[in-house]
Chains A and B, each alone.
Chain A
């Protein structure tokens, strides 16, 4: 499998505090990879550097072999990286389908178009994306009245609009009911399988992680302490030490 994302020695420090300390890893084509770690381990900081919201103190990020370190989020998006956020960032003043249409307008490079009526553009295409995440019935409702889980799925649909080769999902299931979590991750796994998209996600819920991720990375205090299959990670003594408090999950998984 070809390597789609490669991260080399990524580092971020604020006034002496080191949030991320020399992290290196890669994500392969069609891979569903999780980045886990306790609170404050540096997961979001890592994500924000990959997507260009934060500029790394040191280190490099390569997408398909070309360097994207320090580029702006919109430039990285143009290169084929989609993203969902821990706290959803949908457009509250638009309808559900308009949120998707907005992404499609950007995808088709028609942002500076003044003539057309925006809500007419790419409506069918947008509806297809809504179907993918099973939101077609809510297409014309205002985004502001959507349930949280639906917003998460909407964000996923938005992220897919640019036909990304890599999806970065920050806590995709946070704040959702257990049943909905499983559904969303199943959906994500299907997308990975059907469309050949690679996914890198962070997650708190170990059920979700161990049920779906092909590979798992563990971040602790800004450093990567494990990177491998579910079994490898589970049996890694360093990981067990870190997760001593939350180890129950591992054991259940181990027996499963």
Chain B
């Protein structure tokens, strides 16, 4: 019993920092509707700034003073980030801002490396709080008790701020209805800046408070962001009490998971999130998201049309150039083009459900990696001929998408996104932990194409035909009745249902088609590289695709393909620089600010302005 209680206390202590960080994210999302991936970066900044301040400020006063100061410093940095990066793009399409926050992550990572160096910093101990107190004979670190004792005060302070102050009233009003705040005569821009700064300060306090238990290192940002999103989603986006309950739930379950199911450490929280979302589609204390309430801001999408004669001729000419590439290019350019084509098909498959269906998936890598693994497993374990194994890639990915989609389609918006993320993490953990089958992160190697295909030129043509074919098929479907039905369900689900369209069924089929195409890309990938590792199923892989779709332009048809080509090329060139993440981050931020409709969308608008033509359809 005493042991149980001690475990419970460990969980509560862990929940303290997690809740602080999560409450910040929840606040920011509730008011600004920004899915802020850079939140982990402010947590990391908090840890580094805290360590640095504690070196200057001695003693207990210095320690706690440094923590308070950390929040102020990081809050100030966040305010600048908000004003420079986010303020110009609030009117961009929904979720576009997450691309900008991704750029912020890259910039902060390299700046932190420049300023603090690569070596991990051990956090200073809280003065006078080293060692343990014994509770029912079990040792409990003193600092844990302090953290547990602080949590109710933090919760109370936040509650007071939200319910008893003018800022709180505004925050609540903005969370319920953004338009209303503007109507109340409040300067919305400053409210957003203030909330972003406050939310980031909370993350920084979380980072500083965990110092006596850990330290500061350059991987902290990615390591916490998953857990923070899980907590916020389980609690219900925008709900502070929900975030608190979820932080405690996750932390305590984790502690028991560690003891009784030690292998579960990688996926436990995602399993919990999936279960919660399947039972309660809006989290524990979240409320239903009304479609479009986040404002389909920005210009409405223009109707689509396939290319005219001129467009077709250009496409044909380009295909011919691509087909002629092996005669003029060196081997590496072929390899690079293969990579770009694979990525373009993968991005196009996500763009298909995201653009036409409005389904923002955070877990699309499950189908890319799933397809790659399906083919690789057959080759590795049963020596299946490459041709047969290859066919299995899109098939298995499609089936996987059908299964995962069946659960996810019932949800919408950010909750849909997070459930796809949870499932993709489950797929990842199977590949990672079922070592007997998949060899874990040692990966499946020596998966090379059949002899007749095994050469840069032949494999290039193989890739060209399939990737371009896949992209063209997707485009064709978008123009077909099914594609229209998918867009109808996105534009107005109510109207669609009232004209006999089974919106969820259409979405599920679209999800499966996207899965098939992602699996096809995965199949091409695995034989191009000769190996597959769980990295292909990681969250980062999903976000790569997501970012290029937004970067290219959600509300265009070529956005995914163009974005993928752009980012692959830029990244390929930049990674040879010393501080390439900084440059890449700045490039992404610049594109986002200068081209709020994405590359294709903004070029199109520019073209329309230059030529003075007002085309009402997009291609």
Which one, B301, B305, B485, contacts A111 given CB within 8 A? B485
**Given contacts A92-B492, A101-B484, could you give 10 more A-B pairs where the C-beta distance is less than 8 Å?**
A74-B501, A94-B487, A98-B303, A98-B484, A102-B484, A111-B501, A114-B476, A116-B480, A143-B303, A161-B499
How many whole Å from A163's CB to the nearest CB in chain B? 12
For B497, B500, B501, which residue has the most chain A Cβ atoms within 10 angstroms? B500
**A93-B301, A102-B488, A144-B300 known; A118+B500 contact, CB < 8 A:** no
Interface band, chain B: 20 to 34
Which one, A94, A116, A158, contacts B303 given CB within 8 A? A94
Q: Are B498 and A51 in contact (CB under 8 A)?
A: yes
How many whole Å from B503's CB to the nearest CB in chain A? 8
Q: Are B481 and A113 in contact (CB under 8 A)?
A: yes
**A91-B492, A93-B300, A111-B506 known; A106+B482 contact, CB < 8 A:** no
Q: Are B480 and A142 in contact (CB under 8 A)?
A: no
Q: Are B497 and A106 in contact (CB under 8 A)?
A: no
Q: Are B300 and A112 in contact (CB under 8 A)?
A: no
How many whole Å from A86's CB to the nearest CB in chain B? 11
Q: Are A91 and B482 in contact (CB under 8 A)?
A: no
Name the B residues within 8 Å of A95 (CB-CB): 303, 616-617
Q: Are A106 and B479 in contact (CB under 8 A)?
A: no
How many whole Å from B467's CB to the nearest CB in chain A? 19
A162 vs B305: C-alpha distance when bound (angstroms):
26
Judge whether B266 is part of the interface by a CB distance below 8 angstroms: no
In this complex, how many residues of chain A approach chain B with their Cβ under 8 Å: the count is 43
A97 vs B480: C-alpha distance when bound (angstroms):
15
Name the B residues within 8 Å of A218 (CB-CB): none
**Closest B residue by C-beta to A77:** B500
What 3 A-B pairs have minimum CB-CB distances, sorted nearest first?
A89-B495, A89-B492, A93-B301
Please list the residues of chain A having a beta carbon within 8 angstroms of any beta carbon in chain B.
Answer: 51, 53, 72-74, 77-78, 82-83, 85, 89-95, 98, 101-103, 105-107, 110-119, 121, 141-145, 158, 161-162
Judge whether B302 is part of the interface by a CB distance below 8 angstroms: yes
A194 vs B495: C-alpha distance when bound (angstroms):
25
Name the A residues within 8 Å of B499 (CB-CB): 74, 77, 102-103, 106, 158, 161-162
Please list the residues of chain B having a beta carbon within 8 angstroms of any beta carbon in chain A.
Answer: 300-306, 476-477, 479-485, 487-488, 490-492, 494-495, 497-502, 506, 509, 616-617
**Closest A residue by C-beta to B555:** A93
Name the B residues within 8 Å of A143 (CB-CB): 303
Which one, B302, B303, B477, B617, contacts A114 given CB within 8 A? B477
**Closest A residue by C-beta to B478:** A118
Name the A residues within 8 Å of B488 (CB-CB): 91, 94, 102
A95 vs B617: C-alpha distance when bound (angstroms):
9
**A91-B491, A92-B301, A106-B501 known; A118+B484 contact, CB < 8 A:** yes
A142 vs B303: C-alpha distance when bound (angstroms):
6
Name the A residues within 8 Å of B509 (CB-CB): 112
Which one, A83, A98, A142, contacts B498 given CB within 8 A? A83
**A91-B488, A113-B482 known; A72+B616 contact, CB < 8 A:** no
A98 vs B498: C-alpha distance when bound (angstroms):
16
* Cross-chain pairs A/B with CB under 8 angstroms, 7 sampled: A77-B498, A92-B491, A93-B303, A94-B484, A102-B499, A111-B482, A144-B301
Name the A residues within 8 Å of B497 (CB-CB): 53, 72-74, 77
Q: Are A111 and B481 in contact (CB under 8 A)?
A: yes
Q: Are A74 and B498 in contact (CB under 8 A)?
A: yes
Name the A residues within 8 Å of B506 (CB-CB): 111-112
Q: Are A115 and B484 in contact (CB under 8 A)?
A: no
A110 vs B304: C-alpha distance when bound (angstroms):
19
Which one, A112, A113, A117, contacts B306 given CB within 8 A? A117
Name the B residues within 8 Å of A94 (CB-CB): 303, 484, 487-488, 491
A116 vs B478: C-alpha distance when bound (angstroms):
10
A103 vs B499: C-alpha distance when bound (angstroms):
6
Which one, A91, A93, A98, contacts B495 given CB within 8 A? A91
A85 vs B498: C-alpha distance when bound (angstroms):
10
Name the A residues within 8 Å of B482 (CB-CB): 111-114
Name the B residues within 8 Å of A114 (CB-CB): 476-477, 480-482
Name the A residues within 8 Å of B492 (CB-CB): 89-92
Name the B residues within 8 Å of A141 (CB-CB): 616
Name the A residues within 8 Å of B616 (CB-CB): 95, 141-142, 145
How many whole Å from A84's CB to the nearest CB in chain B? 9
Q: Are B306 and A73 in contact (CB under 8 A)?
A: no
Name the B residues within 8 Å of A82 (CB-CB): 498
A158 vs B499: C-alpha distance when bound (angstroms):
8
Q: Are A74 and B502 in contact (CB under 8 A)?
A: yes
Name the B residues within 8 Å of A106 (CB-CB): 485, 499-501
A100 vs B483: C-alpha distance when bound (angstroms):
15
**Closest A residue by C-beta to B476:** A114
Name the B residues within 8 Å of A102 (CB-CB): 484-485, 488, 499
**A77-B498, A85-B494, A141-B616 known; A105+B484 contact, CB < 8 A:** yes
How many whole Å from A125's CB to the nearest CB in chain B? 14
How many whole Å from A151's CB to the nearest CB in chain B? 11
